[in-house]
Chain A
Amino acid sequence: MIKLFKVKEKQRELAENTSNGVPVKKQSAGELRLHKDISELNLPKSCTMQFPNGKDDLMNFEVLIRPDDGYYLGGTFLFSFHVSPIYPHEAPKVKCKTKVYHPNIDLEGNVCLNILREDWKPVLNINTVIYGLYHLFTEPNYEDPLNHDAAAVLRDNPKIFESNVRRAMSGGYVGQTFFPRCM
């Protein structure tokens, strides 16, 4: 290709400073795939989205989940999503921004959901992840605990677990931990 390089190099010398190219940032393949995921979202009424940086930043968004069944009925839980440019090769990073008394979510907002880490596959999408999160509220499970105490209570005494969840969601202490109101 050296002939071609030669021609191009000579042209460049001639055309110096006449570049009219406005530098544009290209959308990554990850952004395009995410655009598809988001525009095809089909969410239940209990899940709504927020785009804090406006309609053109899809890589950082928030999801509000209002469970319509189960222990967490009536609560509102905010999740932040950060999506990498090599999505879907890598799972979105999800954190729970609402402090919640939950066996699978710790007090820092880390979420134990298999499809967010060990079981993530590029065929999954944002819709699956949101449904997965929703599922955690309708069916919290004590077998994958991140909040050890909450998991033990759910396993040994679901009645007490239920009242702990109520207390936490209305704004109050469970043990030594204070939970702000989220209802």
Chain B
Amino acid sequence: MADTSVHLQQQQPSRSRDLDKLLLRPGNLVGPRFEPGTELRDDLQAFAKVLVVGAGGLGCELLKDLALTGFCNLEVIDMDRIEVTNLNRQFLFRLEDVGKPKAEVAAKRVMERISGVDIVPHFCRIEDKDIEFYNDFSIIALGLDSIEARSYINNVACSFLEYDSDDNPREETIKPMVDGGTEGFKGHARVIMPGITPCFECTIWLFPPQVKFPLCTLAETPRTAAHCIEYAHLIKWDEVHRGVPFDPDNPNNMKWVYDEAVKRAELFGIPGVTYSFTQGVVKNIIPAIASTNAIISAACALETLKIATECSKTLSNYLTYNGSEGLHTKVTEFERDRDCLVCGPGIRIELDPSITLQKFMDLLEEHPKLQLSKASVTHRGKNLYMQAPPVLEEMTRSNLTLSLFNLMGKLPKDIVHVNGMTSKNDQKTSCLRKLHVVFKGVDGVADMDTAGGA
């Protein structure tokens, strides 16, 4: 027996056989800096560090795919615990795992099955981590189901981005993201290179607005099962549980809404209210399909490998997949919003450190690229001056005579956002602009963190 197993091992090809086909050979579609060879494969294992955001349907697939693709340093962040309903598709979890943190179990299971892979789990909210935590990763892969969470990570990743004096992104500050998403039989995979391809905020309009029923329809003329559920959830709950917020993750709360919805439906003779449909409407859930997650995740893992190794050009830049009737995939090249407040370069302004906020605002009016009058100014969440409403104008007026440098916490350079009126073709329009303020003659301590990378 022992002899045969040794024999089998010798017969088995190297674990990286398929990866080697991509990394050890030259090709026509490779990136300009691609250098095939075993060093590349070793470097991928040693130096590429990928964060997987979300350990749910997509996250489980992503962790497995990335680990099998040759990435050895992975971390995963998820705030949720495993539920029974996850088990059909979140294949890293077993019945005995129910109630345990997803990130921890997912990391453990993949490490058990794939040797040489190190996965650090983080059982917390994405907002709980310092921004610097995210800067530690080479690539961030997103397996999320909400716009809020994507928008947050996008904002963080874009905050590392810096531009040179010609408004070109400095490569060493680009934090690549690969974003996957699925809804039933449909899904998308996209590559976000902040400063080069559109960021999440540039194309937020791609997300359809959530369907919201008029409250008076719910209260007066319900016609569908969803109307009855939303009545129980939005109106009846408040009426009965004054001041107690509804918790969608509390099964008792959900059961209460379901029972009320059933009563309502009976009253109006409407069929179709079930417990799972109640959950679906209240939590805005679309049934997840395991195969869609697998397909989208595979596309994301491949893009992650392509970004890291340049063994091929990356997806440019948004893939949609539709498996509901037959199969349809399409790649669309979306364009950046040059004025994007999140990933755009902003307008660079050099200032004397002695300038007051009032003088700064006068300068905005004269600035050829801005010609911005009636400016309101905000810096890192502090409202330095507000034109309206009167109560805020009064609260911020005293800042006008103070030095902008001091108001900005004596930073040698930073981003400031201004809005006001600008004239375009003799027409006054309101606008919101990102400014890159640099104070002349102040030692650039802030330069240290990026200058070394150049």
Interface on A for B, CB 8 Å cutoff?
1-9, 11-12, 15, 19-21, 23-33, 35-36, 38-43, 48-51, 54-56, 58, 84-86, 89-91, 104, 106-112, 114, 117-118, 120, 122, 144-146, 148
Contacts and interface: CB of A to CB of B under 8 A. Distances in A.
B322 interface: no
Contact of B132 (A11, A23, A106, A117): A23
Interface string B150-168: 0110011001000000000
Interface size range on B against A: 35 or more
Contacts of A58: 383
Contact of A39 (B242, B386, B445, B453): B386
Interface string B182-219: 00000000000000000001001101011011111001
B26 to A, nearest CB: 16
B342 A29 contact: yes
A127 B389 CA distance: 11
Nearest to A19: B132
B417 interface: yes
B138 A1 contact: yes
Contact of A23 (B33, B130, B151, B448): B130
Interface stretch (B12-20, B42-50, B80-88, B262-270): B42-50
Contact of B392 (A2, A55, A144): A55
Nearest to A27: B381
Interface of B: 33, 40, 43-44, 46-49, 130-132, 136, 138, 147-148, 151-152, 155-156, 159, 171-172, 176, 201, 204-205, 207, 209-210, 212-216, 219-220, 234-235, 238-239, 242, 307-310, 341-342, 376, 378, 380-383, 386-389, 391-392, 395-396, 417, 419, 430, 432, 445, 448-449, 452-453
B47 A5 contact: yes
A1 B176 contact: yes
Given A31-B381, A40-B387, A85-B148, A90 B430 contact: no
A122 B336 CA distance: 19
A40 B216 CA distance: 31
A159 to B, nearest CB: 24
A118 B210 CA distance: 9
B448 A56 contact: no
B388 A38 contact: yes
Interface SS of A by simple majority:
loop
A39 B156 contact: no
A31 B453 CA distance: 32
A114 to B, nearest CB: 6
B389 A56 contact: no
Contacts of A23: 130-132
B402 to A, nearest CB: 15
Given A29-B201, A118-B212, A40 B388 contact: yes
A28 B207 CA distance: 17
Given A1-B308, A40-B430, A48-B391, 12 more contacts: A2-B48, A6-B43, A7-B453, A9-B46, A15-B452, A27-B380, A40-B419, A50-B391, A85-B152, A91-B212, A107-B239, A145-B220
A42 B393 CA distance: 13
19 contacts: A2-B43, A21-B132, A21-B449, A26-B156, A28-B152, A29-B155, A29-B204, A31-B381, A32-B378, A35-B376, A35-B417, A38-B386, A39-B376, A56-B382, A84-B148, A85-B152, A118-B212, A146-B219, A148-B219
A51 B380 CA distance: 18
Contacts of B432: 32-33, 35-36
A8 B43 CA distance: 13
Contacts of A108: 235, 238-239, 242
Contacts of A30: 151
Contact of B234 (A19, A89, A110, A118): A110
Contact of A2 (B152, B309, B396): B309
Contacts of A7: 172, 453
Given A2-B40, A8-B453, A86-B147, A120 B209 contact: yes
Given A11-B452, A11-B453, A26 B383 contact: no
Most chain B CB within a 10 A radius of its CB, from A5, A8, A111, A145:
A5
A104 B382 CA distance: 37
Nearest to A28: B155
B101 to A, nearest CB: 24
Contacts of A55: 383, 386, 392, 395-396
A56 B381 contact: yes
Nearest to B215: A112
Contacts of A27: 378, 380-381, 417
Contacts of A112: 214-216, 219
A107 B214 CA distance: 17
Contact of B204 (A21, A86, A114, A144): A86
Contacts of B216: 104, 112, 144-146
B47 A2 contact: yes
